[in-house]
Structure 1
Amino acid sequence: MEKHEFLELFEAATKAAKSASRGDVKSSCPAVSRCVEAIKRLREAPESLACELVVDRKYTQIGKSHGLFTEHKNPRIQSEGKILYSLWLRYLYATGRKQSSRPRDRTVVKNKKKLVEEKMVSTTTGDSNRDKVREILNKSLSKVAVEMKEGVVSCDSWSVAASVESAMFERLGSFEGTQKAKYRSILFNMGDSSNPDLRRKVMFGEISGERLVTMEKEEMASHKIQLQVQNIKEKARAREENRVKSMMMFQSDTMIMT
């Protein structure tokens, strides 16, 4: 598959997905079929070509459009979209592992440090509170490359942190405002050492900044905490059911006695 064919297929899939979301979302809808067919053909693209275009800044729409497919209201498009982007992520993980295994001399390390410093400057707002939130988010997101079994060198944690903070600021207002508790909840869960899944999903766009802001604390919590909460709720429900049964039995016995 050539580069132009890949781009044409992606454009066709995007247009079909948008068309399907506006009209009939039934699986038999022509737009749905066109979208699914294009996505399946995109999966056939060579690994090197997919990696090149997914991370190429000239084609940012490829990486940013994942939600159009993975969160589509049509189940077929959503399913195929998740398969496609999971495949591309595996490609990127593998690429990161290969790159991270290369020897790095002092010049490379120095240049990398300089790039990080430039990125920090380019993502500041001039507002000390906002910049502090971005620093905290970046610190949490930068753990992803370490936590992944296969290093991912293509992670741009500063850009993601800036994007997430912007969504938080737009939705919640200032950190020192009325939504300070929500800010603290998000920052805590993002940095929680037992919650790597949340960081990973935010880092790779599975959870957007806009979505993160609207999530309840139970949704953001680690899998372990979610299980504990679920267990508590189930026990509470069982106790309530037993209480109701006991009351009904008591009332029944009372009626018999009278």
Structure 2
Amino acid sequence: MEKELLDTFAAVKKAADAAAGDGSPAAADRCVDALNELRRIPVTMKDLVNTQVGKRLRALKKHPNARIQAVATDVLEYWKTKVIEESSDKKLGVSDNKNDSRTEAKPERSEQRKDVKTSNAATVKADMSSKSEGKAEKTTKPGPIKTEKNARSAVEQANDGERTPIGEKHASVAKKPLPSTVEPPRLTKMIKCNDPQRDKVRDLLAQSFAKVSDETTKSNREEVRNILDEVDACDPIRVAVTVESVLFEKLGHFNGAQRVKLRSIMFNLRDDKNPDLRRRVLIGDVKPERLIDMPAEEMASDERKLSNKQIKEKALFECERAGAPKASTDQFKCGRCGQRQTTYYQLQTRSADEPMTTFVTCVNCNNHWKFC
């Protein structure tokens, strides 16, 4: 049973990754079919604990495809119900055996005491037995509550893969601390300000910020994909209204003298090749007030900044101020070809109290490097 469970989950995982990669409807259909097949497999709490399928399946609750999210959530809820029923049946079976043993012992004791005591004592005993039965009922009432608590702990154990020895109590009863701040609800429509030009700027900004979630999901950099939850928690419409309000407050009316600055900001925020600036503004790394003072070089994307840095370094290597004289030496060894046939010259690229920068060129392979 565990092997069948693992094989079916492997098929689910493979189809889910394919659906998330290219968004293929066929892959999504295969994943949904595999999830339905996974639900039809009869499982026990032991199977879920040994295979850890419940814990690994929870990742599909955040899958980009809505159908896969819904079916995966349904499978997890179904398993949770099964585990609760299994634990409840086991606990109730033990309590029934104890009650049967108690009820069988009572008639034997009553028959022994009838031969010795009088009818009055028998009547007293009957009253005492009725009271004891009432107490027994009271003591057995918390049984379902305990079984329900044990079932919940069993579900948590099956999902999280934590095995707890018998007799140890879980510390899961501690409540999670409530968040200190309550986030405002997400806006469903744009907030208008009765100014057609300002409303247009807000709409354009909201459209740009709405693309950040998809851009983060499809990013090639792992550090960007890791903040997808933080991006999804932000409200694009609310951020767009905030940015537009700050720009209007600092720059004045958008037809005034600051029109060029506004165009530069809007171009960089809406540029398809500059998703980094949109993402930083959306999650709050770059405040709206900072946008007004940022130069164009700082607004560029990370890829563009790296390219500009390489261009500057290359230009600095090729710079020879007014034909600066070069000297040949064999003191430097080329890291590319290993030869010692090099030329070098020195420039003061930093402040006057800093040492000069030495630029070295390999005569054999034309490799360049520098050091201070």
TM range (shorter): 0.3 to 0.5
Q: Compare the two structures and name the one with the higher helix fraction.
A: 1
Greater Rg by CA: 2
Larger RCO, structures 1/2 (Cα 8 Å, 6+ apart)? 1
Q: Compare the two structures and name the one with the higher strand fraction.
A: 2
TM-score (ref. length: structure 2): 0.34
